Amino acid sequence: MAAIGHVGVVGAGLAGLAAALAAAAAGLRVDVFEAVPVPFAPQAHIDVVPNLLRDLAALGVGEACVRRGFPYHGLAVLDGDGRLLHEIATPRLSGAPFPACLGMVYGDLLGLLRDAAVAHGARLHVGCAVTDVAAGEAIVTADGQRHGVDLALVASGSRLPALASLPARPMALDELQQQWCHALLPRPPMLERTLWLLGTGSTKAMVVPVDARRAGIAVLQPLGASSTAAAMRATLAGQGRLLQSLGALWKDGTQALVRPVRSGLLEGPWHEQGVLRIGHSAHVLPPHFGQAAAQAVEDAVVLGDLLRLQLSRDELLQAFMARRGERARQVHAVATQAARWDLRPEAATDLPALAAQLAQLVAGPA
């Protein structure tokens, strides 16, 4: 079989845009189909952890992320009053000019990936829902058009859309009965790096500087809890001085975005015929340790490497699973364990040890 020349991507979220950039930069023809007319550009933070920054640098957008975001080194776990509980190391994995990590606005990261993919020749079709992926040989859109491709990448997120000829192989999704409520707040001047703030019970918040003026906050809540500004202030009020002062920055009218936490991993290979699932379509990780995003982008980097080798489609799909399958399974287990501890901290809860285990797993590229 001839090498792959044309890739079709279903979904312009993080996984789809990163994969489109990787494939276009490898010299392939790329078409991306996104169901919604205005792509999602969340005004909330993303924590670009060391292995995610390494992979964004490999895709050629690392410097742009550094310019747009707030670089930092090392993260601290504090109690609600601001007392240091643990330091968590953040190794510098991206080479000398880069910081270890950075915070940035999620919508800005999606915009950088989209612009870079388009600059490499990828074509983005918005408001164009895909209804079939025809054995990886064509992408069929809701308007009935058929676009011939050599490989179809399904990057449509955790809920697999009905794709006529793709055998339904649903992923068992574990709803973890928790949600993160995100917002952008003014950056407190003392905030120079990401903080994990542990209140009482299972109240937990994460604050991430995203630029000189702003910081992202994400507060862990029971699934379905209210996310109004008043509710968030009330949640943080009794949790110690630092959490209370962050709550006070949460003004009426602050836009909040709520994300339920789920966990799931597609059993067996992530490909069928000529269709490969990537990102949350194949592995839904809780965002702990930044690995939901990092694993989605790692799919793209590995794909880009393999597409450059001009393998046949079957060879590429096998090589992809060899590099991604077991590694994603191990990282998935660590992130899911951290999410379960958030729900019910156990006597053996040891976040620094779990962070160290994760750091070892992702220290080298996939």
Ligand X SMILES: Cc1cc2nc3c(=O)[nH]c(=O)nc-3n(C[C@H](O)[C@H](O)[C@H](O)COP(=O)(O)OP(=O)(O)OC[C@H]3O[C@@H](n4cnc5c(N)ncnc54)[C@H](O)[C@@H]3O)c2cc1C
CA atoms within 13 A on the CB side of 325: 13
What is the C-alpha separation between 348 and 106, in angstroms, rounded?
33
Nearest approach in angstroms of CB 172 to ligand X is: 17
Here the tokens at position 90 are 């953040």
Under the binding rule (CB under 6 A), the answer on residue 231 touching ligand X is: no
**Cα angle vertex 259, ends 178, 225, to 5°?**
50
Q: Which of 4, 7, 8, 11 binds ligand X (CB under 6 A)?
A: 11
Instruction: Identify residues 302-341 at the interface with ligand X (CB under 6 A).
Output: none
Of 114 and 120, CB closest to ligand X: 114
Name the β-bridge partners of 272.
Answer: 275
Q: Which of 50, 136, 290, 304 binds ligand X (CB under 6 A)?
A: 290
Q: What string of H, E and C letters represents the secondary structure of 49-109?
A: CHHHHHHHHHCCCHHHHHHHCEEECCEEEEECCCCEEEEECCCCCCCCCCCCEEEEEHHHH
Under the binding rule (CB under 6 A), the answer on residue 263 touching ligand X is: no
Q: Which of 40, 79, 325, 365 binds ligand X (CB under 6 A)?
A: 40
Of 107 and 365, CB closest to ligand X: 107
Contact range with ligand X by CB under 6 A, out of 23-31, 56-64, 228-236, 283-291: 283-291
Using alpha carbons, list the distances in angstroms from residue 82 to 105, 139, 207, 231: 24, 52, 12, 22
Nearest approach in angstroms of CB 257 to ligand X is: 5
Nearest approach in angstroms of CB 1 to ligand X is: 26
Under the binding rule (CB under 6 A), the answer on residue 12 touching ligand X is: yes
Here the tokens at position 256 are 């909040």
Here the tokens at position 89 are 């190391």
Nearest approach in angstroms of CB 142 to ligand X is: 8
Nearest approach in angstroms of CB 24 to ligand X is: 17
**Residue with structure tokens 């312009």?**
12
Nearest approach in angstroms of CB 118 to ligand X is: 16
Residue sitting closest to ligand X (CB): 13
Under the binding rule (CB under 6 A), the answer on residue 193 touching ligand X is: no
Under the binding rule (CB under 6 A), the answer on residue 69 touching ligand X is: no
Instruction: Identify residues 125-164 at the interface with ligand X (CB under 6 A).
Output: 129-130, 155-157, 161
Nearest approach in angstroms of CB 167 to ligand X is: 16
Taking the CA atoms of residue 95, residue 101, residue 105 and residue 108 in that order, the dihedral angle to the nearest 10 degrees is 10
**Residue with structure tokens 């747009």?**
68
Q: Which of 68, 73, 86, 259 binds ligand X (CB under 6 A)?
A: 259
Q: Which of 33, 70, 250, 320 binds ligand X (CB under 6 A)?
A: 33
Here the tokens at position 164 are 């006529």
254 backbone dihedrals φ, ψ, rounded to 5°? -65, 130
Report yes or no: 243 and 197 within 8 Å, Cβ to Cβ.
yes
Binding positions for ligand X, rule: CB under 6 A: 10-16, 33-36, 40, 42, 44, 46-47, 106, 129-130, 155-157, 161, 182, 257, 259, 279-280, 287, 290-294, 296
